[in-house]
Amino acid sequence: MSDWKNFTREPKIAYFSMEIGLSNDIPTYSGGLGVLAGDTIKTAADLKVPMVAVTLVCRKGYFLQTIDAEGWQQEYPREWKPETFMELLPGKTLVTIEGRDVKVQSWLYRVKSPTGGQVPVLFLDTDIPGNDDSDRRITDELYGGDQGYRLKQEIVLGIGGARLLDTLGFSIRKYHMNEGHASLLTLELLTRARRPVEDTWDERASWDTRRVTEQCVFTTHTPVEAGHDRFPYDLVQRIMGEVIPLPLLKELAGKEILNTTMLAMNLSRFVNGVAKKHGEVSKVLFPGFEIHAITNGIHPFTWASPYFVNLFNQYLPSWAKEPELLVRVDLIPDEEIWDAHCGAKAYLFQYIEETTGVRLDPELLTVGFARRSATYKRGDLIFSDIDRLLEIGEGKLQLVFGGKAHPRDRAGKEVIHRIIDQVKRLRGRIDCVYLENYNMDVASRLIPGVDLWLNNPLRPLEASGTSGMKAALNGVPNFSVLDGWWIEGHIEGVTGWGIGPAPTDNSVDANHSAEDVFDLYHKLEKTILPLFYQDRPGWIRIMKNAIGKNAYYFNTHVMMRRYVTEAYMH
């Protein structure tokens, strides 16, 4: 007898996200957005925030990546079985797609915290007998298919998700849309909030947008154009039909085309960017909206390597529940910080040897770079001038890379190809490796195991970035372009190092590549390499500052306390 009904006793914050990365076994995430969602849910469980999360089951998962002999990414399906980890809930609901009724059911996964807190996560599923064959495939792929397929997924996520919560007996006090993918849920809420008006000619007045706005919180995650879904209204009409009258939909979601970000912004009382800078940039992109900024974080216990978990447990007990305690990192002796780091480094190097056959030298400064291979992240920037790189780093530097490109992102795959080309050319002079199939497991070995974490996006396109926070938590200093969270975390030569000019510009097409490349090489040569090799106590000071001045603050516990007090409680 399942006790899942207990979850419906208390009104909840409903957290909607197209992707959620809770663990490697549940491959329903593609990158930072999904991992953030997973970390947020784990923190809600730790802090006993009454939350229920909603996402799609994505039975085909996000793909497995290998790299072929020519350096091109190959993709394989990553099928998984929800029944291995989850329980099928009895309730079903219906959504209308292309005029057909489509049944939606959900799988319950429980995120349990050692504090006793639990957050239910509902994985929506349309693979149900009786549904049209094509409809059974709607919840198969993450970011797959064409625009029509994506719209169907968003109908299931937003409208289906809101209806299913209702069917299951959840009472919801706030709906938090993590990115615009879930924004169609506002249409369901609008329908529910409809009120009778005395003047029956006034159709518009019967739609109580204010009541919906009060229930909704929206976080926008990227200034990158492709990150904001847009659907032509003829497609919307054909697939979704008329959930609310078209003129009203156009008023809320954009005149020419349905912009999901616009819809969410117009119907949320609290709109949030994911770092201070991203809040400012979003105000330029969406003039007229009030946009707050609660900076992203990472779930501390998930992202601390076992070596640092031991150390923190010993010197800063209950840090995992209260990561603010990391501010007292100076209680930990330098040698123990260094030993923990060497443990994490050896653990990574063992993995590298097993998977690539390359044996890296644990004595050399090892730089890591791994994340989704989107072009704005400029994964191959460090190879801009090979002669210069060799002059600086030959015999002194090693590089570890990883990351998947979206299957339809040709340019992202070319970046991987170029990196692998350089990996081959530099062999024996600067040893580099590209680790296949970057995912949460690889990340949790890679990031703590390098000495320096590199990030060089085209500013201001890195809305927040979170991998650098994972590095800081494990005493790995950041060496990064001043964008996203790093603008807030960076103190030059104290917590790590910046790359390129100060972040004054808020336009999305600022390009400082030449300055960035110059500075990257210059600081490596003049500051970072000398410090690493000639002043180990100075280096350890920076490692400790990464923990005590970055990780104590840039975590999802701090982030969640802010969401609760600034967004959910109002």
**Nearer CB in complex with ligand PLP: 65/422:** 65
Closest distance to ligand PLP from the beta carbon of 330 (Å): 27
Contact 177, 216 (CB under 8 A): yes
Tally Cβ neighbours within 10 Å of residue 237: 12
Site for ligand PLP, residues 33 to 92, rule: CB under 6 A: 35
Site for ligand PLP, residues 465 to 484, rule: CB under 6 A: 465-467, 470
**Nearer CB in complex with ligand PLP: 123/453:** 453
Closest CA to 16 of 213, 170, 217: 217
**Nearer CB in complex with ligand PLP: 29/349:** 29
CA angle, 513 then 424 then 411, to 5°: 45
Closest distance to ligand PLP from the beta carbon of 204 (Å): 42
Site for ligand PLP, residues 106 to 125, rule: CB under 6 A: none
Look-up: residue for tokens 């990257």?
520
User: What would the x/- binding string for ligand PLP be over residues 364 to 393, using CB under 6 A?
Assistant: -------xx---------------------
Contact 183, 162 (CB under 8 A): no
Interface pick for ligand PLP out of 26, 27, 32, 190 (rule CB under 6 A): 32
Structure tokens at 552: 């104590």
What is the distance between the alpha carbons of residues 224 and 459, in angstroms, rounded to a whole number? 11
**Nearer CB in complex with ligand PLP: 381/440:** 440
Structure tokens at 209: 């947008």
Classify strands 87-88 and 73-76 as parallel, antiparallel or unpaired.
Answer: unpaired
Closest CA to 296 of 567, 19, 556: 556
**Nearer CB in complex with ligand PLP: 381/531:** 381
User: What would the x/- binding string for ligand PLP be over residues 325 to 364, using CB under 6 A?
Assistant: ----------------------------------------
Closest distance to ligand PLP from the beta carbon of 439 (Å): 5
**Nearer CB in complex with ligand PLP: 244/442:** 442
**Nearer CB in complex with ligand PLP: 239/469:** 469
Strand, helix or coil for residue 553:
coil
In single-letter form, the type of residue at position 499 comes to I
Interface pick for ligand PLP out of 215, 366, 439, 478 (rule CB under 6 A): 439
- Facing residues of 74 across strands? 66
Closest distance to ligand PLP from the beta carbon of 62 (Å): 10
Tell me the backbone φ, ψ of residue 213, rounded to 5 degrees.
-55, -40
Contact 52, 122 (CB under 8 A): yes
Alpha helices by DSSP H, listed for 357-403, are: 386-393
Count of positions on this chain that bind ligand PLP (CB under 6 A): 13
- Facing residues of 174 across strands? 13
By the rule CB under 6 A, 31 interacts with ligand PLP: yes
Closest distance to ligand PLP from the beta carbon of 370 (Å): 7
**Nearer CB in complex with ligand PLP: 31/160:** 31
Contact 122, 54 (CB under 8 A): yes
List residues binding ligand PLP (CB under 6 A).
31-32, 35, 371-372, 438-440, 443, 465-467, 470
